[in-house]
Structure 1
Amino acid sequence: MIPVNTSIVSGVALSQIDGETKMLLMKRVKGDFWCHVAGSIEGSETGVDAIQREFYEETQIQVSHLFNAQFLEQFYEPHVNVIQLIPVFVVQCPPAQVIKLNHEHTEYRWCTLEEALALTPYPSQHAVYKHVWSYFVDKPINPIYRVELS
């Protein structure tokens, strides 16, 4: 049997950088690869609580416009024999969003879809970025994806 873990959330930040929509990628210390924001749900947090906290901890972004990306990132981790099912969120940031990284990352870049696909190693990441770009950049964001924040 392969257990399924649903205790992680992830999110892609979008911002207008020099008049062009771009997504935020960061280079992780652990593993030395490019990725988006992700982290574990803690205590009695909801997924929405966790993604807001993770964005603030990792980037200092105060989430004010949050969307359910309507996508589950999924992959198998052979070293722990677990299938990860991770709900993806999208954070719409103000233009030229300022980023301040924590100790988990060494650098960041605002990327086009093509740049993000070239930087990242995993097919599951590529699927996330293509989906987000299709539903949150290439066409107007459907208001039903909006997550009300308390």
Structure 2
Amino acid sequence: MIPLSTAIVSGVAISNINGVTKILLMKRTKGGYWCHVAGSIEGDENGWEAIIREFKEETNIDVQCLYNGHFIDRFYEPHVNVMQLIPVFAVYCPDNQKVELNDEHTEYKWCSLEEAIELTPYPGQHDVYRHIWSYFVDNKPNERLKIELG
């Protein structure tokens, strides 16, 4: 049997950088690979509260516009024999959003969809970026997916 875990959330930041829509990737300190914001749910947090906190901790971005990405990333962790199911959120940021990384990452880059797929190593990441790009960049998101904050 493989246990399921739903204790992690992730989010893809979207911003117009010098007039061109891009998504944010960061290079992890551990492992040295490129990824988007993700982290564990703490205490009594809801998933959407956890991703807001993770954005603040990892990038110093204050999330003001949050959507349920309506996508579940998934991967198997063989060292602990757990299947991770990770809800993905879309975060719209102001134009030319500033980023201040914490020590979990060494650098960041605002990327086109093609650049994001080229930089990232995992097929699941590629699926996440294609989905977010299709439903939140190429098309106007369904307003039912918007999460009302505070």
The interval holding the TM-score normalised by the smaller chain is: over 0.9
* Cα displacement (A) at 1:23: 0.1
Look up the SS of the partner of 2:13 in the other structure: strand
Matches for 1:1-150 after TM superposition, within 5 Å: 1-150=1-150
| 5+ long unaligned stretches in structure 2 | none
Identity %: 65
- Structure 1 position 140, deviation (Å): 1.3
CA-CA distance at 1:4 after TM superposition:
0.5
**Of 137-146 and 93-102, the range deviating more from structure 2:** 137-146
Residues 93-124 of structure 1, C-alpha deviations (whole Å, 9 max, x = no match): 00000000000000000000000000000000
SS of 1:56's equivalent in the other structure is helix
Q: How many residues align?
A: 150
Letter in 2 for 1:110: W
Tell me the C-alpha RMSD between the 2 structures: 0.5
Measure the CA separation in 1 of the matches of 2:124 and 2:20: 25
Secondary structure of the equivalent of 1:86? strand
Return 138-147 or 40-49, whichever deviates more: 138-147
Greater shift, 106-115 or 135-144, is seen at 135-144
SS of 1:128's partner is helix
Q: CA shift at 1:18, angstroms?
A: 1.0
TM-score (normalizing by structure 1)? 0.99
Amino acid at match of 1:46: N
C-alpha distance in 1, partners of 2:61/2:96?
12
TM superposition outliers: structure 1 runs of 4+ over 3 Å: none
Mapped to 1, the partners of 2:137 and 2:44 lie a distance apart of: 33
What SS is found at the alignment partner of 2:68?
Answer: strand
Q: Distance in 1 between matches of 2:127 and 2:3?
A: 22
Cα displacement string for residues 111-149 of structure 1 (whole angstroms, at most 9, x for unaligned residues) = 000000000000000000000000001111221110011
- TM-score computed with the length of structure 2 as normaliser: 0.99
Could you tell me which amino acid in structure 2 is paired with residue 97 of structure 1? Q
Secondary structure, aligned partner of 1:106: strand
